[in-house]
Structure 1
Amino acid sequence: MPPIPVVELPSTLDDVDADLVELNSQVPIPSQPFIITPRDHYGLYRRYVHSPPSFSPDNLTSVAHFADSPTFIKSQDDLRARPWWSGFGGSIQSAQTHYFTPFLNATTFRLMHWFYSGSVTKSLLELDRLVQEVLLAEDFDQAHLKEFRALKENHRLDSYQDASEDIHSSFSASDGWMETSVKIHIPADGVQHASEDTAPEFDIPGLFYRRPLEVIKAAFRESAAEQFHLTPFETFYQPSDDVPAEKTYGEVYSSPAMLDEHEKICSQPREGNCTLETVVAAVMLWSDSTHLASFGTASLWPIYMFLGNQSKYARAKPTAFAAHHLAYIPKACAQSLL
Structure 2
Amino acid sequence: MNDNNPARWALQFHGRGGEYFRIWIVNLLLSILTLGIYSAWAKVRRLKYFYGNTELAGSRFDYTAKPMQILIGRLIAFAFFFVYAISSNVSPILSAVAAVLLLVALPWMIVRSIRFNLRQTRYRNVAFDFHGSVWGAVKNYLLLPLLLIPTLGLALPFVQHQQYRFVLDHASFGQQRFSGTASAVGAYYRAALAGLGLMIALVALFALTVGVAMWGGGNVLDMSALATQAPTEMAARFALPALAYIIMLIGFNSVGAAVQVAQANHGWSNTVLDDVRFSSSVNPWAYGRMMAWRLPLVVVTLGLALPWLKVAQARMRTEGMQIEAPHDLSQFAAAQQQSGSAIGAEASDLFDVDLAL
TM range (shorter): under 0.3
Q: TM-score, normalized by length of structure 2? A: 0.21
Question: Which of the two has higher C-alpha Rg?
Answer: 1
